[in-house]
Amino acid sequence: MTTELTTLWELPGKSQEFMDAPVLTYKWGGVSLTYDYETDEGYKEGELHFENVDGIRFTSYETCTPEQVEAYDKLVEVVGSPWLIEIARNDPEPAQRLKHFQIFFDDVGCFEFLATSFRTD
């Protein structure tokens, strides 16, 4: 089965200009990924929040696949995700409601989430 990447959102600044690496935090009802980015007025903080998370993966930039790097500075949905298919074999119900999201940060790596939705703050 082939996968397709659908861009859902783009970072407001380039990850190569971050001061610090992104921070992953469990919060009630989901997981948040906090990052900083440079503006004309200095650095600001942003956040991606994922709801109803059933899986999280991180791959260091040195070992990312070309598909993971395609998510450079943007959040994508992996349509036809092998990870999601694998989860469906164990329990088909979650696979019906989950989506596979991934985002790649320069010199950090790729964060991936199986979640029902995301929002930005």
Range of the domain at 56: 4-120
Q: How confident is the model at residue 29 (pLDDT cuts 50, 70, 90)?
A: confident
**Is 59:76 a contact under the CB 8 Å cutoff?**
no
pLDDT one-digit tens code per residue, 49-104: 999 999 999 999 999 999 999 999 999 999 999 999 998 888 887 778 999 999 99
Residues listed for the chain: 121
Note the pTM of the prediction, 2 decimals.
0.93
Question: How far lies 33's CA from each of 19, 30, 48, in Å?
Answer: 15, 10, 5
CA–CA distance, 72 with 101 (Å, rounded to integer): 13
Q: How many domains does the chain have?
A: 1
Q: What is the end-to-end Cα distance of the chain in Å, rounded? A: 34
